[in-house]
A = this chain, B = another copy of it.
Amino acid sequence: MSAEIITIGTELLHGLVRNTNADRILDRLAEIGVEVTYQTTVGDDTARLSDAFRAAGHRARFVITTGGLGPTPDDLTRKVVATVFRRRLVLDETVLAHIRARFKARGIDMPAINEAQALVPRGARVIENPRGTAPGLHFEHQETDFFVLPGVPAEADAMLAQYVIPSIKATAAGPWISRRVVRTIGLSESVLAERLIGVEGEAPDVMIGYLPHSYGLDVTLTVLALDPSWAAEAIRRIERRVIEAAGDHVYGFGRDTMATVLGALLVEQGRTIATAESFTAGGIGANIASVPGASRYFLGGVTAYSNAAKTALLGVKKALIDKHGAVSAEVAEAMAAGARERFGADIAISSTGIAGPDGGTPEKPVGLFFLGLATPEGVHSVHRQVGGEREEIVVRSSALALDFVRRRVAQAPQASRGK
């Protein structure tokens, strides 16, 4: 019971566009446990597109395609479907009326060229497009269901949610993919893999995967099985071992992010937070604020790129900066204390470091940074070193800053909670 995805469009092969349709369809199929065996991207070329349709039809139970349904001559999908599967294109009056109506609503007469979008291969059902003119198509050929969607991501996504996924869910017979993700930060793949040697034997059907992402390492536990509750139990067994092995490096599961986890902790404890940032330039605050409802605990922050700003806006003494340098534990702590006081927050987190590519020295290389944390219990700091390009350094250190808060907040003494 496998599925295949074909994303169509020469622009997808030109290296500028992220293939968000493929990402989204993979995600949605994973959610309902359907295994995808191939994902192919092909340009606007009749012969290549025909081959892609034929090959997928021979291999898969379900085929989802996006792209090539527009009104211009390089939109070939409709014609290719008609030729490959020997179905004459018929003008569908209902579809035509829908397209005309969409144009009329915008005060425009339908251009003649758009009439082509009302051509439907004989026997295909029309998938309504709530967000655009190009309808989708659903047809069966031999043992395969084809779902043919437009390339505009918002349109494809709406039709996927409203029609394709429910339809596949209703017909699919398993086996199903079950998956669990354990999210960690601060551990390398090889260290964690070494700690997990032998664990695979406890549930051999569970595939353990390691996925490093921009600021951490995800451990994925995947099973292909006919019985989802058996699969869930097997995954739970391995998950317990992963949690033992990773300890407090585990910050969440599934779609948790560092920001949602920290936000939930702050809400639970009724605490507020502010930021004082230098080289992360607002990245920590933006990360905290990315969660809906963050205004309940996030009061704000200062980005003090220049030393003068550190003094003027955060009250960091000029003499302290002169003595220890802007990138130092002392300045990080003073920044956090200053932000905590000025915002009237329970907690303040600060960062000062070297994002590069310039500005590094042998003693303070690019990627070195200090984090300061001010809480009712006092002021602390840590230093860390990360690698990568400028943007990666900022992303990683912002996440490590949230992690520093998370660990401290999770450990906060009961007495200071729920104030």
Interface on A for B, CB 8 Å cutoff?
Answer: 10-19, 22-23, 26-31, 35-43, 45, 48, 52, 55, 74, 177, 179, 181, 207, 209, 211, 213, 218, 220, 222, 274-275, 277, 280-286, 288-290, 292-295, 298-306, 308-309, 312-313, 342-344, 355-359, 390-391, 394
Contacts and interface: CB of A to CB of B under 8 A. Distances in A.
Given A285-B282, A302-B300, A342-B312, A13 B42 contact: no
A43 B22 CA distance: 15
A303 B305 contact: no
Contacts of A292: 356-358, 390
A151 B209 CA distance: 13
Contact of A14 (B179, B283, B288, B308): B179
A282 B295 contact: no
Nearest to A254: B16
A295 B290 contact: no
Given A38-B42, A281-B288, 6 more contacts: A16-B211, A22-B41, A37-B45, A300-B306, A309-B342, A312-B342
A22 B394 CA distance: 24
B39 A343 contact: no
A164 to B, nearest CB: 15
Counting chain B CB atoms within 10 Å of each CB, the highest count among A11, A12, A289 belongs to A289
A299 to B, nearest CB: 5
Given A302-B302, A306-B299, A211 B11 contact: yes
Contacts of A22: 19, 41
A21 to B, nearest CB: 12
10 contacts: A13-B38, A15-B27, A16-B181, A19-B23, A38-B48, A281-B289, A300-B306, A300-B309, A301-B302, A306-B343
A132 to B, nearest CB: 11
A390 B299 CA distance: 18
Contacts of A222: 10, 14
Q: Which 4 A-B pairs have the closest CB atoms?
A: A282-B282, A281-B289, A15-B26, A15-B27
Contacts of A302: 300-303, 313
Contact of A298 (B30, B40, B285, B305): B305
Nearest to A211: B17
A11 to B, nearest CB: 5
Contacts of A45: 37
A308 B344 contact: yes
A301 B289 contact: no
A182 B326 CA distance: 40
A281 to B, nearest CB: 3
Contacts of A12: 39
B37 A14 contact: no
Given A282-B301, A306-B300, A343 B312 contact: yes
Nearest to A291: B390
Contact of A303 (B30, B303, B342): B303
A23 B22 CA distance: 12
Given A300-B309, A312-B342, A15 B38 contact: no
Contacts of A17: 211, 213
A18 B13 contact: no
A124 to B, nearest CB: 25
B42 A30 contact: no
Nearest to A193: B72
Counting chain B CB atoms within 10 Å of each CB, the highest count among A281, A343, A356 belongs to A281
A224 to B, nearest CB: 10
A282 B281 CA distance: 7
A357 B37 CA distance: 36
Contacts of A284: 282
Contacts of A36: 13-15, 43
Contact of A281 (B27, B177, B285): B285
